[in-house]
Each structure stands twice: as structure tokens, then as C-alpha cells.
Chains A and B, each alone.
Chain A
């Protein structure tokens, strides 16, 4: 078994990977299997399950199964992109702050403190007020929330590595700072990143889904699991499946990502709880 897949050897890690693969497959291929169009009613609102609509209908009489098959893409894609953007920024800031001997480090870290002092959802709501609801704002907002945390972790890993012999040797050879950062430091903080990324992804999914649930992210008639839970709440007694289906899938998604993240972190010898809790 390749070293990178070692984490699947634990039971929890294997279960997490299996669920995650299924859910990503659902998001990628699901829309091709959807029996009905997204935005047209196929019956009266909140009908129970039938042969035509196995999961019943939603608050506008649309097919819940079709919308559920479509609704995973937005959460997974937006959260994934947000984490990538956050890592791009966080790596740059963290490496710069960690390797800098000057004023750059304290300035960047105080900026991170300020961003972190705002509760994440509050920051997103402030951004939505100023910039409106859109996918770009959602991705940007979630990335900006994660960035300072990532930067902090990368910074301390960089500081720990930058006093080691091979880094000082590279500096003594007269290598450029960019080369030292990319060739000497970056490969050595990969385990730190691997231990942290699952947690970031879990949190990004939670945030994206929550903002969509609040009706401040994707807008109707888009199909999105978070939005579906919100839209169909009023019909819980008539067709609970309209809420249960998307809610269960979001739950499975976050649990699976967290299980995988935890297993990867353990395989790297770092406990995820040592890196940080939910944020």
C-alpha cells in the first residue's frame, strides 16, 4: 500500500473514504440520472413518495429526488474551491511570516488575529451585506475565514523548520529566499498541511451549507442541499423526506470528510485535535 494511503488502514478512515467517494460520485453523476427537470412541478406540493417521485415533492411540487441528485454539486464544489483558495493565500502568508525576521511577521499575525476575532458566520454575513449573495462572495468569504488559521499553522511549522541545518545550509550557499521556501521548507510542512486539510474542508462545507440554509448564498430555483432543508421545513409533517434526504447527505458528507481528515492526521502522527477544533 502506498505511503500516502496509509490512513485507509484504520476502520474509521476506510469508512470515511468509502462514503466520500460515493457522495462525490453522486454529485458528479447524479444530475445525469435525475428523472425530472429541476424547476418544474411534477405534482402538488409536499406529496409523499410515489412511483413517479420516489422521495415525494417539495414545497413547489417539484421532484425531491431530482433536486437531491443535483444539490450536492454546489456544496462540494464551492467548499473545495474555497479551501484551495484559502490554502494558496494561507501558504503564501504563513511562509512569508514564518521565514521573515522583520516586521512582516507581527503585522501579518496581528491582521490574522483581527480576522479571527470575528465569528466566522458573522464575517460572512457582513460580506454578503456589502457584496450581495453570489457564489463568488461565498467562496471568497469562506476562503478569507480559513486563510488566517492556515497561515498561523503554516507559520509555526515554517518557524520550526527554518532553524534546521539544511535550511541554514541553503541560506549559506546563497540560495534565493524563494528557492529556500519552495525547495527546503515547503516539502517539510506537507505533513502539517495533510493533518489540517480535512478539518478545513469540514468547516468550509459547514459554512457554505449554513449560508445557503440562511438563504444568503445560492438563490432559488437553484438546487442545493442546504437551501432545500430551509425551503421544505414548513412541510415536515407532509413530506419529511424533502428535508431528511438533503439533511442526511450533508451530515454524511461532513462526517465522512472529518473521518478521513482525522485518519490522515493520525497517519501523519499529528492528532487533529492538536491542530485545532472546529475552526
Chain B
């Protein structure tokens, strides 16, 4: 069915290669597809949950390879044996590893992230969720801002480069993105601070957000973190969009559309971009993974009170439970984004629904 669809494409111009519903001509096929789409979606979600479960084991085991150490790491070297004993009890280190794992996982799944060791060290109980609630909102603000700017920009630059393959415009965009894609986030960020703070003095080098307020109240503090993350993610996305577009524009159906006399703009947007979009969506999802790593670094660099900064602080003092819970949350988001992207691609490219290797 797939190859024939392709050759038919130029004539059913309005439909394009990838529309979910292209009129009533193939209604029975569409009906069959819908059930299989639901099944594929279900399978993808279940696989994602299984992965998350495996990741939870990985995170737990990874952080607790040296179990006895956690209490002394929090209290420091001057701790008395009696203090250590009590700390171990509070942190639950006197119980077996599987017991602790199930306890933690059950808590996380029901919304109880546990108490931070930093709180125990101060002699009180600090719930990790209460501690990070504001940070989650701050991080989401930053992440959404970056994604909302990154996707249209990547599509625009990628299409601009791909429509002039080998030209000056293409070379400038490709070389520029190759240079930027290889830079660590903290280098991009530090260089931006040198330019925009030390030299021009227009944006602050740190992005502190007082507790209880939103970073959006002082948008100037978001500029440099956003620019840094855009630099880190935009370059990779642009390269991928360009690659996808170049391939799509070389294909038979684009040639056919051109030969049929369609205006070039319509050919590029309707036939090229639509087909380049499927790989691009997965690249964007991948980029969310880099974005997560980048956010951790950028929040630390700008002292932005987000979940990444909280995580680095927790790692620095070996607050095992806080690291586990925050890492699990971040991993869950990352896996979730990838599931959504895969589902989106399934809707976008009917070809993929026919069977899987």
C-alpha cells in the first residue's frame, strides 16, 4: 500500500503524503488504521512505563552503591557514632535494599518524594516536594520558553539552509550550527555573560528568583539563560531539519509537484516541510533530553532556582533521597516527552503504522 500511495501523491495534492484524514476515499482502510493506531499507542505507553520502572531501579541502585556512606556524607567527618546511628535510622538505612527501594518507589508513585537528608541534618523534617515545588515551576517556565522559541526558529533556519543547498546561506547556517553544536552549555553561557554583563552591562549575570515570585515578573533575568539554552539546542535541531528537508526536496514527489507547476513556496512548505517534519519531531524530542542536561548546567551557572540547581546541590551534599526523587521526576518527564513525540510521528506518518521491525 505504501509505495502506491507515494506515486499517487502529486495528484491528490490537497492531501499530501501524511495527512491523517484525506477525504472519504479510503474509509475502510482508515478505520482499520485507527484501531491499530490505538494499539500501537498503547504498546508505546506500556514500553515507556517499563522503561521508567527500569530507570527507577538504575537510579536507586546507582545512588546507593555505597549504602553506609550516605549518613556520614550528610553529617560530615566530625559526626559522633550515636548521631550516625540515629541518622541511618531516620534515612531508613537500617533496612534492606529491596525494602527501601519499594518504600521509595511506592512513595514517589503516590506523590510522596520523601524527606531530604539536609532536613534531618538540621534536626527537622523537610519534605522534598515542599522544597522543590517552586523550583519545578521555575524550571518549567524556562523550558517552555526555550522550546517555544526553538521549534519555529529551527524550522525556519533549517528550511532556509535546505532551499539553497551549497549556497552561501546554507554554508553560513551549517558552519555556524556546527560550531555552536559542539560547545558545552556553560561555555556558551559564560561567553554570553562576558558580552552582555561585563562589556555591555545590559543583563544580570545571575538570575535569582525570590521565593514565592515568578521569574516572569523580572523577564530580564530569563534572557541569558534562554539564549544559552537556545544556542545549545537550536544548532542541533537546525542541522536535522536541514538534513530532512534536503532529502525531502530531492524526492520524486517533490519533483512531480514542481513539474505539475505548483508554486515553489507551496512545494517547499506542503511537500518538503511536511515530510521533513516527522524526523524533525523526534529530533525535537531528543533535544528535550539535551535540554534537560543543559538546564541543569545553565541553572547552576546563573544560580537560577530551578530543579536542576536543586539536583546539583543535592548531589554536592550527597542527599541520596533528594537525588533519587528529583532524578526520577526528570527521567519521567524525559520519557514522557519521547512517548508523545513517537505518538505524534505515528499520526504524522501513516507508513510507520503498517508494521514494526
Contacts and interface: CB of A to CB of B under 8 A. Distances in A.
Interface of A: 12, 113-115, 117-123, 125-132, 202, 205-206, 209-210, 213-216, 226, 229-230, 233, 236-237, 240, 243-244, 247, 250-251, 254-255, 257-259, 262, 271, 273-274, 277-279
Interface string B295-335: 01100110000000001101110101001000100110011
Interface stretch (B35-43, B127-135, B188-196): B188-196
A277 B62 contact: no
Interface in B157-184: 175, 178-179, 181-184
By secondary structure, the A interface counts as helix
B107 to A, nearest CB: 18
B293 A258 contact: no
B312 A125 contact: yes
A214 B194 contact: no
A125 B55 contact: no
Interface centre among A114, A117, A205, A216 (most CB of B within 10 A): A117
10 contacts: A121-B297, A126-B63, A129-B314, A213-B301, A229-B190, A247-B187, A247-B190, A254-B184, A278-B236, A279-B290
Given A119-B334, A122-B327, A255 B320 contact: no
A258 B66 CA distance: 37
A119 B323 contact: no
Nearest to A258: B182
Contacts of A114: 51, 54-55, 58
A274 B243 contact: yes
Contacts of A215: 316
Nearest to A205: B184
A209 B327 contact: no
A273 B190 contact: no
A255 B316 contact: no
Nearest to B62: A126
Contact of B186 (A125, A126, A210): A210
Nearest to A202: B182
Nearest to A126: B62
A119 B330 contact: yes
A263 to B, nearest CB: 11
Nearest to B179: A255
Interface centre among B51, B293, B300, B314 (most CB of A within 10 A): B293
B240 interface: yes
B75 to A, nearest CB: 16
B240 A273 contact: yes
B207 interface: no
A279 B286 CA distance: 9
B91 interface: no
B121 interface: no
A270 to B, nearest CB: 12
B205 interface: yes
Contacts of B287: 277
List 3 tightest A-B contacts by C-beta distance, closest first.
Answer: A121-B293, A258-B182, A130-B65
Interface of B: 51-52, 54-55, 58-59, 61-66, 175, 178-179, 181-187, 190-191, 193-194, 197-198, 205, 236, 239-240, 243, 283, 286-287, 289-290, 292-293, 296-297, 300-301, 311-312, 314-316, 318, 320, 323, 327, 330-331, 334-335, 338
Nearest to A198: B182
Contacts of A206: 182-184
B187 A229 contact: yes
Given A130-B64, A209-B184, A277 B197 contact: no
Contacts of B182: 202, 206, 254-255, 257-258
Contacts of B314: 129
B315 A125 contact: yes
Given A122-B293, A255-B182, A279-B286, A113 B66 contact: no
Interface centre among A119, A250, A259, A279 (most CB of B within 10 A): A119
B290 A129 contact: no
A202 B61 CA distance: 29
Contacts of B59: 118, 126
A237 B178 CA distance: 30
Nearest to A261: B182
A118 B52 CA distance: 9
Given A214-B312, A279-B289, A251 B318 contact: no
A118 B55 contact: yes
A250 B187 contact: yes
Nearest to A131: B65
B91 to A, nearest CB: 13
B331 A129 contact: no
A215 B67 CA distance: 23
A277 B239 contact: yes
Contact of B292 (A119, A132, A243, A244): A119
A231 to B, nearest CB: 12
Contact of A129 (B179, B193, B300, B318): B318
A277 B194 contact: no
Nearest to A116: B289
B338 A117 contact: yes
Nearest to A232: B190
Contacts of A209: 184, 186-187
Given A243-B194, A244-B194, A277-B286, A126 B185 contact: no
